[in-house]
Chain A
């Protein structure tokens, strides 16, 4: 078995240390090493977006990032979106707009949506569809997801 590598990183604002094999992806580290199973695996080849996390300010599919690349980085996962006080407006909007059915793609959509609205609070429907084109949902046909994102924009301004 290959030797383990010590990695120091920051996840959801918390300084975090872990050991991983060089061949393990960040997705594997999050789920199997750190037990943070909110980030989902749908394809393991970067095409579905279910494992989307924010990586030093950019959204990435964590299945295409190696765990060792997290050294000295700032990572936000779905577990870091809500606060002890309650849901983030994006989460609340997904819930109220029935923007999820099975829910497996939802963490990835919420992380991606929050990243969009943090920089473009007035994104229109076309921009939202373009931004979310890297996240596959097979249940909803995206209609209620797009509506939820527009609703989240209103909630975040209120």
Chain B
């Protein structure tokens, strides 16, 4: 059977061990409370009416029949939002944050994608709310949609926003356009770099819109009390982000909004935007009752935030020794209906794996009549890597070079400056490439017809940002750890481990709890591969605060100067008097009688995030009759810095790989010519099942991040970056034709073969 390898440099007592997660029993017994499970006295059910058109003017909305339908308590439209109808002139610099965000929640004058919310109803039951929503009469003037970047960038394309002007390298253009912005990164001298090259290869790529595919649909329950206190229970990666969004869009004091994050059923970046929360709040304000609003699976596909479809061009120049001298890259990303695709991140990631002296990257953020894109695991990086890594693979093929050796010759390492400016600190790409080269998988020959092997590397920044943790000592020597980071995949464990390690106590003696926005300091989203790094850091600082206070208390009890007391591995002792010694637990028992309890607190914003790299190897077999690709073997290598909980690091790697496999082979938003999504169910939007896959082998490389006490880098996003290119190249080798469009589904592979 397949293998999971951990290459550790440093061993700790608690960190690096495979402990049981604290929320595990609740989650295997069905007792964990997710957002849809919320029950409140007098709870109403909400239903959102959505646009059936991808692009249409809203001429009128008549809600009267819905309002008088038996069992209905409230109906809302954009007229209930304070900023929905204000102009760019009236809002100035707040235009995007307030007006466009309002229009995203509920359309005012224009529907910009099929599924765009138009109105919402709160009623006694879900079925009554659905019936009433159907009674709302909306008069549309249907407009032609612009569905792809290529189409939307044409000069005669239908305009989504009459008041959207291109931000052209920082300057606003004077003519309205679907191109929201054009940004560029440049380094060295591109023309000179191309002259130095012996081989120059230029290729063009396209990828389809895909969805994060979390199994739990969006949900939100809100209760707006008569005193103005607004309470929200929802499924979100960022309760503080939801708090800010709701306060902004509803013009509600932020201090009067409390967001309670329920257990979250997957997110991958797609559960940061507040889609339903402002609607539930409006319905509650109007009805005076708590209101729960749920999305159906179709609504999730049509009206949450997919990852952008793209159009990309990559030109690379390489010497005969296999050294990259130049790169010219064009990236155009779909933003969806409102500006804000991750094209900037895609541009910054595109060449991050390599030391490229001369490069130019142009990025375009383009609005189209699709749902506004949201983050999806390393947003922008998988698409860019598909283009760049595919060109590298083709160059290796042409030059007869080993693809791992080629990457080692060009690999980024400490001191290399990225094209967008930052200089790498200690990173582990070389170590990952070497681990891949040494792996059984890479050494094993791949034999048989219609088979191919692909290799690709991938990069993600990993993030820092704000986190807060409080730790209180219990009389029995355990501690309660309070955090604001939603646990989306085992982070209660990885945070508790870091606190236990720092305090020198057992993992089981730390009880972590995720709390609402009133009960902990500001904590940024669970996303950006930041949680185990930044909230872990907050836990370490809070634990250090506890230690300091425990030392002071011991000094007081022993009537000795603080300087004489030391704290080592959970034991307090006098530096010179061996008689004076207490374990953490013994001192904890005495706290209440010697000055009161102890709570350590921290608010951090760490800047030492460690960049992440991965290298993947995949073997595929393509059926020449059907075009179907089977994954025969897959190995993912990644630098985790330090794997705090190796099982959940492996889980992140395996999960990211499989999402990448789906992206490469099957998943896409399929639209008809009116811009309506035709495959908005899990039957037709084909995500990988257990039957489609082999085991996913992993190698965790540990090159400690110097910017974190235990060396953590963050791991969640890198694993989805290499699969698109690795699989595309593997198929190319299997069938003898390059794959330049994703998904490479059976039809596309047959087309490439014909």
Contacts and interface: CB of A to CB of B under 8 A. Distances in A.
A125 B691 CA distance: 10
Most A Cβ at <10 Å: residue of B36, B39, B296, B651? B651
Q: Is chain B's binding surface mostly helix, strand, loop or mixed?
A: loop
A16 interface: no
B294 to A, nearest CB: 8
B647 A144 contact: yes
Nearest to B29: A82
A157 B488 CA distance: 33
Nearest to A45: B681
Interface string B177-214: 00000000000000000000000000000000000111
B154 to A, nearest CB: 36
Nearest to A128: B690
B279 to A, nearest CB: 19
A77 interface: yes
Contacts of B2: 143
B320 interface: no
A126 to B, nearest CB: 9
Interface in A47-92: 47-48, 50, 77-79, 81-82, 87, 91-92
Nearest to B493: A98
A44 to B, nearest CB: 6
Contacts of A132: 689-691
Interface in A9-24: 21, 23-24
B71 interface: yes
B28 A100 contact: yes
Interface in A121-145: 125, 128-130, 132-145
B696 A143 contact: yes
B28 A87 contact: yes
B655 interface: yes
B29 A38 contact: yes
Interface string B388-432: 000000000000000000000000000000000000000000000
B696 A42 contact: no
B690 A142 contact: yes
A142 B693 contact: yes
Contacts of A43: 297, 681-682
Nearest to B263: A103
A131 B18 CA distance: 28
A26 interface: no
B690 A135 contact: yes
B213 A100 contact: no
B678 to A, nearest CB: 15
A133 B689 contact: yes
A105 B655 CA distance: 14
A42 B266 CA distance: 11
Contact of B691 (A50, A103, A105, A133): A133
A96 interface: yes
B39 A40 contact: no
A104 interface: yes
Interface residues of A, number: 62
A101 B655 contact: yes
A110 interface: yes
B745 interface: no
Contacts of B32: 103
B305 to A, nearest CB: 15
Count class of interface residues, chain B: 35 or more
A134 B692 CA distance: 12
B693 A104 contact: no
A91 to B, nearest CB: 4
A37 B30 contact: yes
A139 B28 contact: no
Nearest to B30: A38
A141 B268 contact: no
B647 A40 contact: no
A21 to B, nearest CB: 7
B542 interface: no
A106 B28 contact: yes
B25 interface: yes
A102 B29 contact: no
B651 A48 contact: no
A138 B655 contact: yes
A72 B143 CA distance: 54
B79 interface: no
A91 B31 CA distance: 13
Contacts, number: 188
A66 B657 CA distance: 37
B265 interface: yes
Interface in B25-72: 25, 27-34, 36-37, 39, 70-71
B690 A129 contact: yes
A98 B655 contact: no
Contacts of B128: 1
Contacts of B688: 141-142
A94 B20 CA distance: 10
Given A1-B71, A38-B31, A102-B266, A136 B215 contact: yes
Contacts of A40: 30, 34, 36, 215-216, 265
B23 to A, nearest CB: 8
Interface in B265-291: 265-268
B740 interface: no
Interface string B243-268: 00000000000000000000111111
Contact of B24 (A42, A47, A100, A143): A100
Contacts of B25: 87, 95
A146 B695 contact: yes
Contacts of A133: 689-691
Contacts of A106: 27-28
B217 A102 contact: no
Contact of B654 (A32, A79, A141): A141
A28 B297 CA distance: 16
B654 A140 contact: yes
B20 to A, nearest CB: 6
Interface string B649-675: 011101111110000000000000000
B24 A95 contact: yes
B42 to A, nearest CB: 15
Given A103-B27, A104-B216, A136 B682 contact: yes
Nearest to A126: B691
B97 to A, nearest CB: 30
Given A42-B216, A144-B654, A21 B127 contact: yes
Nearest to B645: A98
A123 to B, nearest CB: 12
Given A39-B30, A133-B691, A139-B655, A98 B216 contact: no
A41 B36 contact: yes
Contacts of A87: 25, 28-29
A35 interface: yes
B648 interface: yes
B216 A102 contact: yes
B681 A47 contact: yes
Contacts of A21: 127
A145 B427 CA distance: 32
Contact of A23 (B127, B264, B267, B655): B127
B16 to A, nearest CB: 14
Contact of A101 (B70, B648, B657, B683): B648
A138 B681 contact: no
A105 B650 CA distance: 19
A106 B267 CA distance: 16
B687 A136 contact: yes
Nearest to B214: A138
B199 to A, nearest CB: 36
B662 to A, nearest CB: 9
20 contacts: A21-B127, A28-B126, A40-B215, A42-B216, A42-B265, A43-B681, A44-B297, A47-B682, A95-B21, A101-B490, A102-B265, A105-B265, A125-B1, A133-B690, A135-B690, A136-B689, A138-B659, A140-B651, A142-B693, A144-B651
Given A1-B128, A140-B654, A144-B650, 16 more contacts: A45-B682, A48-B682, A50-B215, A79-B29, A81-B29, A87-B28, A94-B28, A95-B20, A98-B490, A102-B214, A102-B489, A128-B690, A129-B691, A132-B689, A141-B656, A141-B659
